[in-house]
Chain A
Amino acid sequence: MSRQPETLEALLARFRYRPDEESGGLTELPTATVEPDQPKGADALQLLTFGLGTAEYGVALGTVTEILRARPLTEIPRARPPLLGVLNLRGTITPVYDPSLRLGLPVNAPPCAGPDCPRPPRPARILVVRTVLGPAGLWVDRVRGVQRARPAELERPRGGPTGGVLGVLPTAEGTCTVVDPEWLLR
């Protein structure tokens, strides 16, 4: 008889709802929480894709602050690749780099700095990216657009990550290599 209230107490404790109660045994149920789901595609990567030569590359859209039409740069005496020159971006001196060298592409860029440089080709663009040292420019041959991708769609490079190459994304036209813009500048 004396056991009865105790049992009932334990029984009620299991019956009553507590927000912090364990629900870990339900591992095979699809998880659902009290909070609403993330909006669709919230985990999607947004990649700004650009071309260098015949290859396509992509960087995370959030790292690019603006895209400029390529313009003649101010030359830096004895500048060595990949530094092409500097740009006065609304009062901020912005170095502009050629990503080809870092990506192992042939560097055959015509001089694009100094008073005698030819007019840059029409599709050429400068991507202004944010770095810890301030803005920096990346000279690219063309900008294609913004592509959305899920992280799972990225194919990781074989044999582990190599430098700043984050992965390769299959696209309708071929492949798009996703790179870390900071690595291109290093």
Chain B
Amino acid sequence: MSAELQAIDVCAFWVGPAIYGIDVARVDEILPRVVPLPVADAPAHVEGVVHVHGTAVPIVDLRRLLPAGTPPRTAKPKVILARLGRRRVGLRVDGMAGVRRYTTGEIRPGDAVPGVLGVTADECRLLDLRELLAEPAAARRAGL
């Protein structure tokens, strides 16, 4: 039996030396420069909150949740404003890598990194954002 191929659109970005991707439907905006307001008692990977069009949005530093490393020189740090159910969250990343379309045939199941669902043929790691950010596992991974 041959599985029907489906296309997925992925917003790809750099974190450290690797490219990760989330569903493009999650992405509201890409913010170039964000100075979050620190939040007391926040987990280590939460930088703080920013006000975006009248809404307070927490900023999560994905660099603390995913394997560390040096991103390519050309990458410019950004904050991706993403949706998680009815919530919104800002994701601090090392740089954007465009919107990519993959078919399901190009994806193989994920490696051992928590939160990574699958890896595409060109080594874009598809993230399960909800698992990645779920407490308290995320706080544990962020160290401290």
Contact = CB atoms under 8 A, between A and B. Distances in A.
Chain A partners chain B:
yes
B33 interface: no
Contacts of A35: 55
A110 interface: no
Contacts of A2: 1
B109 A7 contact: yes
A13 to B, nearest CB: 10
Interface string B2-16: 010010100000000
B66 interface: no
28 contacts: A2-B1, A8-B104, A8-B107, A11-B109, A11-B117, A12-B6, A12-B8, A12-B104, A15-B117, A15-B118, A15-B126, A17-B25, A21-B84, A21-B85, A22-B130, A23-B85, A25-B134, A26-B134, A28-B42, A28-B46, A28-B135, A29-B43, A30-B49, A32-B87, A32-B88, A34-B88, A37-B55, A37-B56
Contacts of B54: 36-37
Nearest to A22: B85
Contacts, number: 112
Interface string A131-143: 0000000000000
Most B CB contacts (10 A, CB to CB) among A7, A19, A26, A31 go to A26
B58 A30 contact: yes
Nearest to B83: A17
A116 interface: no
Interface residues of B, number: 43
Nearest 5 CB-CB pairings of A with B? A25-B134, A5-B3, A23-B85, A36-B54, A17-B25
Contact of A33 (B3, B46, B87, B109): B87
Contact of B57 (A4, A16, A18, A32): A32
A20 B84 CA distance: 9
Contacts of B79: none
